[in-house]
């Protein structure tokens, strides 16, 4: 038995091996693994807290603390007399915090917003995705909410996490489409604009409202102000728990334009529904008193979300966003002011030159006709301006050549932008020369090109505003002015550059422009309601369409206060019959108002006895 027990015992030892301490093996293993795990966790904690502690604390803070931005009030735009051209009105907007929008509710929230705001789901989705679902910044979805939309959003607030409705000021243009091209409009910044501003180091964010056109765009840096906001603590649903700090927004700067609202109304009425432009300017310093372009638009449409139907209706009117006062066209006979200047200043002709005029001039076998097909007999430069004789100026161009014409076109400021603040909307026009023609048409300059140029036809292109600058040279005794819109108290000499014209040349031009009104092609303005005006008409051929028509005038002749240029695009007729009546209306309104402000003169005191 003892043997059996021993043998049995030995047999067990052989089969199972050593058993001493076996019961502690699993405990030791667990401790070992725990140490490894704790070491890994400790290392990770060490990394997170010490190595990346600042970064992670910032992330946690951003998830808990949000900045509720407050848009600054945009500056108000006034006319020269303090009347509001662009202001603000109270409305409501809706925005969304992507980080406070639960993943499982994103689709439902977007769908509900789409229904309430009548905005496509894809558009809302795109706005959120552009910012990113982890963004802590609120993303504007819609502005200018109707009362019904505001109420509906409040009723559905419980099922719209992360959505916020707040009161805000939106742009308001109290005069509707009046001076729309000058004032411009505002709209939400797009991605291209945002990227450009970012590259320039300017502080803009997606959803910002910026000037898109006109003075709103040109004076954006003055009008926009600086953002403010509240720093708040929020819960996981985006609900505000407490306000931690606040920065008051800085309102934009108010500005005054040189426009006269009442004169602008007259100019708008004068142009009516005709396609074209009117510019009224102080010829002494270039201050723009009125600027009209037709067709036009109501900038209030862009203060809220414009519908597709509204957009299509706008564009059916023939590009209403084009400021035709700043677009270039053939200047026609108004250009004869420059031809007169070049003819005398080049030394080719004496100031008292008299030329015989004819029904036509033969140049290289081509007949160039006078506008009346008869000629006007012998004329001097002032008489040629008075009757707008084409054959007189043909002869001037044929003898002196095109180079003096081009030289003086540039001295008058043609072929480049005038310097008005609407720089992105202004055309420089065109001063064609031999190099330009060779590049564009691969042709040499012909005599016929010079002949056409003398009467403002051919390739040249001039804007109504540039034409006003040209007339101002005659009105202010030989200075090229810089047109401007921002009212400034600086001395007018800062806006004027002498073009170095001889007094005798200037005298002849002024005398000719006065004769145009007293007995020439512009007698429509020879009325007692306008004190001694001077001006010039122009009719430009534009085949296969109707003529363009022009008329420019200033008054009083002795000491000009105002200059007006009217332009009709494919209007047909002549400058004296189509454009002159518009100029007449603006000048009459100006002097009527000026007379009213000054009041009647008091009788002189009589001496005693």
Supply the pLDDT for residue 146. Answer: 81
How far apart CA 310 and CA 235 sit, in angstroms, is: 42
Mean pLDDT (the chain, rounded): 86
Lowest mean pLDDT among 94-103, 386-395, 422-431: 94-103
Supply the pLDDT for residue 216. Answer: 97
Do the domains spanning 70-256 and 261-296+325-597 agree at the CATH topology level?
A: no
Q: What is the mean pLDDT of residues 156-173?
A: 85
Residue 134, pLDDT above cutoff 80? no
Whether domain 261-296+325-597 has CATH 3.30.2350.10: the reply is no
Q: Which residues contact 245 (CB under 8 A, 6 or more apart)?
A: 230, 231
On the CB side of 574, CA atoms within 13 Å amount to 11
Q: What is the mean pLDDT of residues 75-98?
A: 91
For 564, which DSSP code? E
Supply the pLDDT for residue 597. Answer: 64
How far apart CA 281 and CA 565 sit, in angstroms, is: 9
Domain boundaries, the chain: 70-256, 261-296+325-597
How far apart CA 468 and CA 536 sit, in angstroms, is: 11
Confidence of residue 11 (pLDDT cuts 50, 70, 90): very low
Tokens at residue 587, please?
A: 């000048």
Q: What is the mean pLDDT of residues 560-586?
A: 96
| Residue, of 231 and 511, whose pLDDT is higher | 511
pLDDT, one tens digit per residue, over 215-224 is: 999 999 999 9
The fraction of the chain above a pLDDT of 90, given in percent, is: 58
pLDDT, one tens digit per residue, over 354-364 is: 999 999 999 98
pLDDT, one tens digit per residue, over 290-339 is: 999 999 999 999 887 777 788 888 877 788 999 999 999 999 999 999 99
Supply the pLDDT for residue 32. Answer: 62
Distance from chain centroid for Cα 126 = 27
The fraction of the chain above a pLDDT of 70, given in percent, is: 83
Supply the pLDDT for residue 53. Answer: 52
Supply the pLDDT for residue 313. Answer: 81
For 575, which DSSP code? I
Task: Could you please state the CATH topology (level 3) that the domain comprising 70-256 is classified under.
Answer: Penicillin-binding protein 2a (Domain 2) (3.90.1310)
Supply the pLDDT for residue 307. Answer: 74
Residue 345, pLDDT above cutoff 70? yes
Supply the pLDDT for residue 172. Answer: 94
Tokens at residue 592, please?
A: 């009527």
| Residue, of 58 and 122, whose pLDDT is higher | 122
Confidence of residue 55 (pLDDT cuts 50, 70, 90): very low
């Amino acid at each position: 038995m003892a043997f059996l027990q021993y043998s049995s015992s030995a047999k067990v030892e052989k089969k199972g091996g050593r058993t001493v301490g076996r019961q502690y093996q699993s405990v030791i293993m667990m401790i070992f693994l725990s140490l490894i795990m704790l070491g890994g966790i400790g290392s990770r904690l060490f990394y997170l807290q010490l190595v990346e502690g600042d970064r992670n604390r910032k992330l946690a803070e951003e998830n808990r603390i949000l900045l509720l931005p407050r848009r600054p009030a945009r500056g108000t735009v006034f006319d020269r007399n303090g009347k509001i051209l662009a202001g603000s009105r109270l409305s409501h907007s809706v925005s969304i915090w992507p980080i406070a929008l639960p993943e499982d509710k994103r689709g439902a929230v977007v769908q509900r917003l789409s229904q309430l705001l009548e905005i496509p789901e894809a558009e809302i989705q795109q706005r959120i995705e552009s910012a990113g679902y982890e963004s802590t910044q609120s993303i504007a979805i819609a502005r200018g909410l109707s009362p019904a939309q505001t109420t509906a959003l409040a009723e559905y607030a419980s099922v719209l996490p992360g959505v916020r409705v707040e009161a805000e000021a939106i742009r308001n243009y109290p005069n509707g489409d009046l001076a729309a091209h000058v004032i411009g409009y505002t709209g939400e910044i797009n991605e291209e604009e945002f990227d450009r501003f970012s590259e320039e180091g300017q502080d803009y964010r997606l959803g910002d409202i910026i000037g898109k056109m006109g003075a709103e765009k040109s004076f954006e840096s003055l009008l926009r102000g600086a953002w403010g906001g509240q720093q708040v603590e929020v819960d996981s649903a985006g609900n505000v728990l407490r306000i931690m700090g606040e920065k008051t927004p800085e309102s934009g700067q108010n500005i005054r334009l040189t426009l006269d609202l009442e004169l602008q109304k007259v100019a708008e009425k004068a142009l009516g529904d005709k396609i074209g432009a009117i510019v009224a300017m102080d010829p002494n310093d270039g201050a723009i008193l009125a600027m009209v372009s037709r067709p036009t638009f109501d900038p209030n449409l862009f203060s809220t979300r414009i519908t597709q139907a509204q957009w299509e209706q706008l564009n059916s009117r023939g590009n209403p966003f084009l400021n035709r006062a700043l677009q270039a066209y053939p200047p026609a006979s108004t250009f004869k002011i420059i031809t007169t200047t070049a003819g005398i200043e080049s030394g080719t002709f004496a100031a008292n030159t008299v030329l015989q005029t004819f029904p036509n001039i033969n140049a290289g076998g081509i007949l160039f006709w006078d506008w009346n097909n008869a000629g006007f007999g012998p004329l001097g430069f002032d008489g040629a301006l008075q009757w707008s004789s084409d054959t007189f100026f043909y002869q001037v161009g044929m003898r002196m050549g095109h180079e003096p014409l081009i030289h003086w076109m540039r001295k008058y400021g043609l072929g480049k932008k005038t310097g008005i603040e609407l720089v992105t909307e202004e055309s420089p026009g065109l001063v064609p020369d031999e190099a330009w023609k060779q590049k564009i048409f691969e042709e040499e300059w012909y005599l016929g090109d010079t002949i056409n140029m003398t009467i403002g036809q051919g390739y040249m292109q001039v804007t109504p505003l540039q034409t006003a600058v040209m007339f101002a040279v005659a009105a202010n005794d030989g200075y090229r002015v810089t047109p401007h819109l921002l009212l400034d108290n600086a001395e007018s000499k800062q806006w004027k550059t002498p073009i170095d014209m001889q007094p005798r040349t200037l005298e002849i031009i002024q005398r000719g422009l006065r004769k145009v009104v007293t007995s020439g092609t512009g007698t429509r303005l020879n009325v007692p309601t306008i004190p001694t005006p001077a001006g010039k008409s122009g009719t430009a051929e534009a085949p296969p369409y109707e003529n363009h028509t022009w008329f420019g005038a200033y008054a009083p002749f002795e000491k000009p206060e105002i200059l007006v240029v009217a332009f009709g695009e494919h209007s047909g007729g002549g400058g004296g019959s189509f454009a002159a009546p518009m100029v007449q209306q603006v000048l009459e309104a100006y002097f009527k108002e000026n007379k009213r402000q000054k009041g009647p003169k008091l009788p002189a005191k009589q001496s005693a006895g």
